[in-house]
Chain A
Amino acid sequence: MPRCTGYVLVLLLGALTITGAEAPRLSSDQLAKAVRNDSISIPTPGELFAALGKPGKPNWAGQFRGPLPTTYRNRAQIALNLGGLIADGFIAVEAQDGQQVKNIGTDIIKMAKALGVSENILGRGNSINEFAENNEWDALQEELEATQNEVKSSMQSHQDQDLVILVSLGGWVRGTQVVSAAVLQNYDERSAKVLRQPALVSFIHAKVNDVSAETHNDPLVKQVSDQLGAIEKLVTFPVGKAPTIEDVRAVHDAVGRVMEQIQHKPDTK
């Protein structure tokens, strides 16, 4: 082989190696082994609402709902509603309604106490009130997430690990209900794109399936879990393609049914 051809080959191989290093692709095995955890892999309702607000400010106050009963006795149901209530807190922050934030903050503390979480949560309630009175909206967002994390961490230390994913699930259902309602009221392709969340629903579903048999056999948990497979399909839109208004309506109806069950299902324990 002529020497110059050898050099060309070496250069070509070198170039291929560099290209490979610059634009590597992860294998499906690597993707499957990636860490997935509650505190990083599950976005907060605040992130979802921030994305929804980009094309135009939605009517956040129009998404408020009436006060929830804070006297549920079923622990799984309390955890699901607690997640939904925290999402309501984020909505009130987006609407910049201090009184609504304070009311929701009070209910969050009541529900958290009903689950026997740490007394530290009381301090969070005071901070929420203080920030709401001073219109410190960014601080309120951080405080709501910190409150949610504190509730979850207290659940973990009290061997209530099963309830952690139920809080996340309740928050996701309520957040998606609100976002799909807002998109339906004022359809816009860019807003509708935030509803594409198949991997997130799949992750939550897998975690719900992984809870103890006692929790999984709870009628409400079972009922909600049974619907997650269908909801996952409803939020699986092709990459880059915005869901149609009919697609959005289907998602809204499905999560609306789940939310009804979470709120109103009679106690079973």
Chain B
Amino acid sequence: MKLWLRILLSGLLLIANRETRADTDKEVQAHKAVLDLAGAFSNEGFKMRDGHWTGSLKLHENALVAVNLYAGNQYWFSVGTADPAKKIEVALYDETGQRVTTEPYNEGERAAAGFTPTSSGQYYVSVSLLEGAESSFCLVYSYK
């Protein structure tokens, strides 16, 4: 392979790696933020799921994940973000797409929604970026 081509490819790889590293750092930061928030619910007897869901949101975008909940349990869905998010919202929808009433918690770049289903089945958690620029987020949920 010609030298200039190797240099070009190495440069591109380096840039790609740095981009990936930066994204991972942001996700780790968002994960840390959400663990701090969800930890407060653990003090109230909620068990935190080990799994989490991360992604990236642009302003006024929302991301949706399906969850399966059991009637009788209480749940908290918590979201943390990394800079430059300013205000995030968590909402919950039932299996028909109808928004359900949740107990809101919002402190700007971190938010949560509390819910006690009366019917078991599939629900959808929506995470929206209301203020700020494109940011990484991380969602965890707790139950009791």
Contact = CB atoms under 8 A, between A and B. Distances in A.
B73 interface: yes
A49 B143 CA distance: 11
B97 A28 contact: yes
Given A25-B97, A200-B122, A239-B121, A193 B72 contact: yes
A199 B121 contact: yes
Interface in A120-158: 138, 141-142, 145-146, 149
A253 B95 CA distance: 27
Contact of B71 (A33, A193, A199): A193
A239 B117 CA distance: 11
A36 B67 CA distance: 8
A73 B14 CA distance: 44
Contact of A145 (B50, B67, B72, B99): B50
Contacts of B65: 34-37, 40-41
Interface string B30-70: 00000000000000000111111101000000011111111
Contacts of B53: 35, 37, 39-40
A67 interface: no
Interface in A20-70: 23-28, 30-31, 33-44, 46-48, 50-52, 54-55
B70 A26 contact: no
Contacts of A190: 71-72
Interface residues of B, number: 36
A54 B124 contact: no
Nearest to B55: A35
Contacts of A215: none
B84 to A, nearest CB: 23
B115 interface: no
Given A36-B65, A47-B49, A141-B47, 5 more contacts: A26-B93, A31-B95, A40-B67, A50-B144, A142-B50
Interface of B: 47-53, 55, 63-73, 93, 95-99, 118-122, 124, 126, 139, 141, 143-144
26 contacts: A25-B96, A25-B97, A26-B93, A30-B97, A31-B64, A34-B64, A36-B66, A39-B52, A40-B49, A40-B53, A40-B65, A50-B143, A54-B72, A55-B72, A142-B47, A145-B51, A193-B71, A193-B119, A193-B120, A194-B71, A196-B71, A196-B119, A196-B121, A197-B68, A199-B95, A240-B119
